[in-house]
Amino acid sequence: MKVGIAGAGVMGAGIALSSIQAGYQTLLFDVNEAALEKGKSYIRKELDKAVEKGKITAEKAVESMQLLTTVNDASALQADIIIEAVLENLEIKQTLFKQLEAVNSPECVLA
CA distance to 52, 69, 84, 110, per residue, from 65 (Å): 16, 8, 21, 24
Residues of the chain with pLDDT under 50: none
Mean pLDDT of the chain: 97
pLDDT at 62: 98
Q: How far apart are the first and last CA of the chain?
A: 15
pLDDT at 77: 98
pLDDT at 108: 98
Q: What pTM did the predictor assign?
A: 0.95
